[in-house]
Amino acid sequence: MKAGHVKEAYNFGGLQWTTVSSPQALAPGPHSVRYEFIYDGGKPGSGGTSRLSVDGKQVAVAKVPRTMPFMYSADEGVDVGTDNETSVTEDYKDGANKFTGTIVKVTIQSGEVKLTDAEKEEIAKGTEAAAAAQQ
């Protein structure tokens, strides 16, 4: 949330950001917010589409040109209501980003990933290389 607007930012390693945001601030009261990422498929690091919906109505869509191909970081986690590690965007400062509203429920759903054997092998190699680089 930023100034009452629902926002999602895809941070490509601090080099490129893709943001979707509701065009209007939410009215006070309960809302259902849904974010979807639809991967383009293909080789690791391919892009996709970000879709943001509020109360069942799509409010924003953006093309993410590329994604992190293997892993983000060994020390960043998934946070809800605050960002406990490095800020995802420059919209807020590290440690000064706690959501002050009420989050009733968070659901994370992942669809079936359809990869070729060659793509699976490339991912495995990249994951091994990223792990070695972290040591």
| 9-20 pLDDT tens trace | 988 888 899 999
pLDDT score recorded for residue 134: 56
Q: What is the pLDDT of residue 101?
A: 87
pTM for the predicted model, two decimal places: 0.74
Residues 116 and 123: beta-carbon distance below 8 Å: no
Report pLDDT digits (tens) over 70-116: 776 767 777 888 888 877 888 888 778 888 888 888 888 887 766 67
Task: Assess contact for 2 and 45: CB atoms under 8 A.
Answer: no
90 or 58, which is more confident: 58
Three-state DSSP at 104 gives coil
Structure tokens, 33: 């917010």
- Cα–Cα–Cα angle for 83, 53, 90, rounded to 5 degrees: 30
- Please check whether residue 89 is in contact with residue 96, taking contact to mean a CB–CB distance below 8 angstroms: no
